[in-house]
Amino acid sequence: MARVILFHKPYGVLSQFTDKGADGSARPTLSAYIDVPGVYPAGRLDKDSEGLLVLTDDGKLQARIAHPKHKMAKTYCVQVEGRPDAFALDRLRRGVTLKDGRTKPAEVAEIDPPEPLWPRDPPVRFRKSVPDAWLRITIREGRNRQVRRMTAHVGLPCLRLIRVQVGSWALNNLTPGAWRFATDGGP
C-alpha cells in the first residue's frame, strides 16, 4: 500500500529534501518538516508558492500525479494585482500563449479571499492605489511557474499563490508546515 503525505508547504521552503544550491545556503527544505524515509514530492511548488504538496513512496503514483500526460487537476487560490475583467478571465479559460506554447484551458473564477488565510512572512506588498483580487484557477498541466505566467500574461501579476487541491486531495485545515498521511485513495 502506497504511503501518501499531504504537506502544507510554507512560503520560502524548497520542494526537495536537500538544497543543492550554493554551499552554506540556509534555504529551508522539506527535511525541516518531514522525517519520513522513502517519500518524495509528486510534483513541485516554487519556493515563493505555498500550499498543498503531495509526497509518496510509490513511483507510479508519483508519475501519475506529476506528469502532464495524466492531466491531474491542480487548483490554486491566486491573489493578483489589479481587478480582472471578463476579457482577462475568458482568455485564461481559453488558454494563453506563453513563450513555451499555448496553455490548455483553465477553470477560472473570481473568489473571496480563502478561509482560513494565514499571514505570510514576508507579507504580500500592499499598495493603496492598486486594487487586488483573488482567483481560483484549476489547471491540468504543470509547466514551470505556469499560473504566475498565465495571470501576468493577461495583465494580472501574481502576488500570492496557494495550491489548495491536487486531484481529490485538498489542503483543508492543514496549517503551514504541518502534514498528515492521506486516508483516502486519492486519484
Dihedral sign for Cα atoms in the order 148, 52, 85, 113: negative
134-172 burial: b if 16+ Cβ within 10 Å, else e: bbbbbbebbeeebbbbbbbbbebebbbbbbbbbbebebe
**125: DSSP letter:** P
Measured distance CA(41)–CA(174) in Å, rounded: 17
Measured distance CA(181)–CA(48) in Å, rounded: 24
Burial grade of 49 (CB within 10 A; 0-12, 13-18, 19 or more): buried
Q: 144: which residues sit within 8 A by CB, 6+ positions away?
A: none
Point out the residues that are catalytic.
46
Measured distance CA(82)–CA(129) in Å, rounded: 10
